[in-house]
Chains A and B, each alone.
Chain A
């Protein structure tokens, strides 16, 4: 009887732990975490936020990436040309449920400093689609752009 009680307690603790690890709906703080990852300029810090496989991503440039693995290679190379990146989401963030997924958009402030010390400030637009894979919200599509002019 004691053994059954202990087994039951262990099972309950395990369930609580697992549900704690599984993420709730994505919120602004989670989205900012993605951009904080980019601000470290280390692509491995954003790996956990992007879905592996054939997913299309539109960044500032080039035209498009057909997978996260393509995207991260270019981003890592680009990071080598900079001293720092800082990205901050603005308050216009919107997150909408789409069945089991979420989509949303925001504008964000970008401050980059290149190796020559030149600082560039801009406001970017960001559209995203998040899908839950293995208990984590990952990007299956993203569109980042700067307005023309």
Chain B
């Protein structure tokens, strides 16, 4: 009987822990984690952070992606010639949670790309993200990444 009680206590604690992880709205560490994922050059690994379905994403180019699958394929192509990259969010990141299931963030982001033929490109981009909590997980339902003109 004592053993069952312990199993139940551990079970409840485990569920609370899972619940706690899932419920946390995105913070700066989470945003940097997303960017660290991109820096690996493996867009497939980013699938876990993006909502599936008809969601619009704006990246450097082309004009727009109509869903994550299009976005993923486009970025796989983009990373084809990249040897390694470093992506660091600046200190100006701000996160606003306007509803229990919606948060949005805005930040500038420092990006350095090294190509396989030894070229380096560096740029500071602007990054707006809309998160929606779906099935207890904060997923990106819209993203706008851009370089300023000139």
Chain A window 7-28, contacts with chain B (Cβ cutoff 8 Å), 1 for yes, 0 for no: 0000000000000000000000
- Interface assignment of B124: CB less than 8 Å from any CB of chain A: yes
A109 to B82, CA, bound (A): 32
Chain A residues touching B, range: 20 to 34
Which residues of the partner chain B approach A96 to less than 8 Å between Cβ atoms? 102, 130
Question: Which one of B64, B94, B100, B124 has the greatest number of beta carbons of chain A within 10 Å?
Answer: B64
Chain B interface size, as a band, is: 20 to 34
**A127 to chain B: closest residue by CB:** B144
Residues of B within 8 A of A147 (CB): 58, 60-63, 146
User: Would you call A101 an interface residue if the criterion is a C-beta within 8 Å of the partner chain's C-beta atoms?
Assistant: yes
Contacts of A61 in B (CB 8 A): 148-150
A141 to chain B: which residues have CB within 8 Å?
104, 106, 128
Contacts known (A129-B104, A143-B144); A64 close to B150, Cβ less than 8 A: no
A63 touches B124 (CB 8 A): yes
Query: Which residues does B use to contact A, with CB under 8 Å?
Result: 56, 58, 60-64, 92, 94, 96, 98-100, 102, 104, 106, 108, 124, 126, 128, 130, 142, 144, 146-150
